[in-house]
Chain A
Amino acid sequence: TQLLEQSPQFLSIQEGENLTVYCNSSSVFSSLQWYRQEPGEGPVLLVTVVTGGEVKKLKRLTFQFGDARKDSSLHITAAQPGDTGLYLCAANFGNEKLTFGTGTRLTIIP
């Protein structure tokens, strides 16, 4: 079973600060997805990355896919309370399954 490690597990910062969370594996991804989950709801897709070295931006969120296709990062600029949630990465390793990381629980303090 391939594993996805996310770090940090918990992150609490002040509104307006920047932050980066990471998703790493020892195996190569075919593709990687980032989701955000809020309490009482299912995860909601933020972005999909498929090309090594790819960078995608979604307003204040910047997603990077590592050149070796074994890691990804999510950077949030000027964090806002609405960014609070559980951030999950999910990877396909070339089979029929989707493997999720354990998540980063982000809290933005007003």
Chain B
Amino acid sequence: EAQVTQNPRYLITVTGKKLTVTCSQNMNHEYMSWYRQDPGLGLRQIYYSMNVEVTDKGDVPEGYKVSRKEKRNFPLILESPSPNQTSLYFCASSRTLGPQYFGAGTRLSVL
């Protein structure tokens, strides 16, 4: 089954404690991206990757890092989380900028 898998689904952490949210897709897609979704603000792109070892900033990259060492994986790293990073996060993949396939989301709370 074609899917994008994010882990964990829920995470509560404290300010400053490094965390990683994993994302994996099994569709051999070149394009992967991370979004955060906040009430009234819609989905905002954090980082995207056109292919392996190619990553670039989206609209809200501050406080986040990503890597794309393998085609299937695109982890999101928060080196020092802050409360304003409390949000619902989605990973997505696609062929170039075609239809996006989204993961089920990760709800993060930073205390």
Chain A interface (Cβ < 8 Å from any Cβ of B)? 1, 31, 33, 35, 40-45, 48, 88, 90, 92, 96-103
Stretch at the interface among B12-20, B43-51, B64-72, B73-81: B43-51
> What number of B residues sit within 8 Å (CB to CB) of A?
25
Residue of A nearest to B103 (CB): A42
Q: What's the A-B contact tally at a CB cutoff of 8 Å?
A: 55
Write the B45-60 contact mask toward A (1 if CB under 8 angstroms, else 0). Answer: 1001010000010110
Chain B interface (Cβ < 8 Å from any Cβ of A)? 4, 33, 35, 40-45, 48, 50, 56, 58-59, 90, 92, 97-105
A-B residue pairs, 9 tightest by C-beta:
A42-B102, A102-B42, A100-B43, A45-B99, A92-B97, A100-B42, A42-B90, A43-B102, A103-B42
Q: Which residues of chain B are near A99, meaning CB under 8 Å?
A: 45, 59
